Amino acid sequence: MFSPADVRAISQPTIKICGLSKSYGSIEVLKDISLDVVPGEVVVIIGPSGAGKSTILSCVNHLEPYEKGEIWVEGQLYGPTRARGRRRAHAEAELNQLRRKIGIVFQAYNLFPHLTALENVTLAPIRVLKKPRADAVREGGEQLARVGLSQKADKYPAELSGGQQQRVAIARALAMQPKVMLFDEVTSALDPELVGEVLAVMKQLSNDGMTMMIVTHEMQFAREVADRIYFMDEGKIVESGTAQEIFDNPKQERTQAFLRRTRSL
Amino acid sequence: MDFDARLLWESLPDLLRGAKVTVSLTIVSTLIGLVIGIIGGLCRVSRSRIARGLSFGYVLLFRGVPLLVTLLFLYYGLPAVGITLGSFAVAIIGLSITFGAFASEIVRAGIQSINIGQMRAARSLGMPYWMAMKEVVLPQALRRVLPPLTNEVLTLLKQTALVSVIATADLVRVGLEIMTWRANTFSPFAGVALIYLSLSLPLVGLVTFLERKYRVT
């Protein structure tokens, strides 16, 4: 069994971000972010609201444009490139290809309300991957079973609790067989008693060896699943390290202050 | 008052023939107008500046010009530049493009009412823009705008009365003819009004039904 540190030394990162910067108008939300995620690794990004954590995930998936930097996925460069000295957006078709490899789960679930749970899960495999319907339905059923919702396959999102909807959203992303899963504050909109069931599914995924990037405010959970933690504030990575290093022995004052505040809650 | 029940009864077959024309105009213009409305609505929210500009101009023009003027222009104006169309064709074109302009705005509003997260989620699964529109956004948007669209069809049904000025034998035109021939105003137009009413009632019922069914909760 290799530790993530070993993997880091020998393999190509699943995601490699170099010098990423992004602004909304004159407000710089990401400043020179660099990090990478190796296969099987669980990277957790923590930090105060407005630090730019979620924006990183949106940029990795190219749901948000960015001005500077490079994002490599499995050794391939995506995003704006320079051609003849001019910056130009990446071709749509290639971004669609990229997004197949990256599953993302949103804070607001964003399930398709006009489709049942199973249809939510099978839509993209059928339409995007052109899978035969029967195969997609069988595999979709397996994904729903994986998140413990086989019984709810024929229910519409409005008939499900928040926690169940979020688990369907996870199954929907998994159905595309992504190389990496991004989780964008997926428990922040949930009632407290529903948080546990979603975190349990994520923990199971991490045990299964899924490569994950997680933005969360659940510190206890971060500590349990993270191979590596990044602490962000005001658009910058302040500090990174293992869960132990960050939680038990933070070096930066801002990290210490943030952790004190979250503990006193 | 010159109401004559027997005259009304006798003119019913002619009036129903006119009603058939009115219904055909409504159905055909609704179908064409809906296609225009969906395309126009998509153009209004398009990322292409040209598509946005063209659709905006179209909507502005045909929402601003009275249908009667559009019909007169098509019927009397176009022959002056060598394009002569039959009155039924002019009626269909005039009604469709006007209905299409209003439908475009309704569809645009429907699309914009769908949370942006739906588009993001669809794109994040690797769907191209048009697939995301077709599979995720439009089905929800159209469901949501069915009641206002049906209302618009109701308006269209009554607007078809205007085609009587361009020699189309619709319900109003037939009523006018009977009035002239039989020298009786009240009886034929009582029939005309009753027929319009009985045609519109199902649509009114449909709007109520759809509003209840797709009520935004």
- E strands along A74-227, which residues? 76-78, 81-83, 86-88, 102-105, 180-184, 212-215
pLDDT above 70 for A82: no
A147 and A198 Cβ atoms separated by less than 8 Å: no
pLDDT digits (tens, 9 = 90+) for B2-34: 777 888 888 888 888 989 999 999 999 999 999
Percent pLDDT > 90 in chain B is 63
Furthest-apart CA atoms within chain B: distance in Å: 71
SS3 A177: coil
Query: Under 8 Å CB-to-CB from B63, ≥6 apart: which residues?
Result: B101, B102, B105
Convert B115-131 to b/e letters by CB count within 10 Å (16 or more is b). Answer: eeebbbbbbbbbbbeeb
Averaged pLDDT for residues A125-153: 95
The Cα A197–Cα A220 span in angstroms is 15
pLDDT digits (tens, 9 = 90+) for A91-105: 788 889 889 999 999
Q: Do B128 and A92 touch (CB under 8 A)?
A: yes
What angle is formed at CA B42 by the lines to CA B36 and CA B48, rounded to 5 degrees? 120
**Which residue in chain B has the smallest CA separation from A176?**
B125
Pairwise pLDDT comparison (B158 vs B183), residue with the higher score: B158
B193 shares contact with chain A (CB less than 8 Å): no
Query: Could you give the dihedral angle defined by the CA atoms of residues B106, B98, B66 and B89, in that order, rounded to the nearest 10 degrees?
Result: -170
Averaged pLDDT for residues A45-65: 91
B123 shares contact with chain A (CB less than 8 Å): yes
Q: Do A114 and B126 touch (CB under 8 A)?
A: no
The pair of three-digit structure tokens given for residue B175, joined into one six-digit string: 């009523």
A121 and A172 Cβ atoms separated by less than 8 Å: yes
B47 shares contact with chain A (CB less than 8 Å): no
A216 and A43 Cβ atoms separated by less than 8 Å: no
Q: What ipTM does the predicted assembly reach?
A: 0.89
The Cα A238–Cα A232 span in angstroms is 5
pLDDT of amino acid A8: 65
The Cα A153–Cα A116 span in angstroms is 7
Which H or E run contains B217? none
SS3 A112: coil
Contacts of A169 in chain B (CB under 8 A): 121
pLDDT digits (tens, 9 = 90+) for A197-252: 999 999 999 999 999 999 999 999 999 999 999 999 999 999 999 999 999 999 99
How many angstroms away from the CA of B147 is the closest CA of chain A?
17
pLDDT of amino acid A40: 92
Q: Do B135 and A123 touch (CB under 8 A)?
A: yes
Using alpha carbons, list the distances in angstroms from residue A187 to A203, A215, A228, B157.
13, 10, 20, 51
B178 and B190 Cβ atoms separated by less than 8 Å: no
pLDDT of amino acid A208: 93
pLDDT of amino acid B217: 45
Pairwise pLDDT comparison (B101 vs B13), residue with the higher score: B101
pLDDT digits (tens, 9 = 90+) for B177-195: 888 888 777 888 888 899 9
Q: Do A128 and B131 touch (CB under 8 A)?
A: yes
Query: Which long-range contacts link A164-167 to residues 24+ away (Cβ below 8 Å)?
Result: A164/A197, A165/A109, A165/A111, A166/A105, A166/A109, A166/A190, A166/A198, A167/A197, A167/A198, A167/A201
The pair of three-digit structure tokens given for residue A32, joined into one six-digit string: 């020179």
Mutate to test the interface with B, among A114, A130, A156, A184 (most CBs of B within 10 A): A114
Contacts of B120 in chain A (CB under 8 A): 63, 106, 110
Tracing tokens 């500590």 back to the chain, one arrives at A223
Averaged pLDDT for residues A137-164: 95
Using alpha carbons, list the distances in angstroms from residue B108 to B39, B52, B73, B132.
10, 11, 28, 16
**In sequence order, what are the beta bridge partners of A213?**
A43, A182
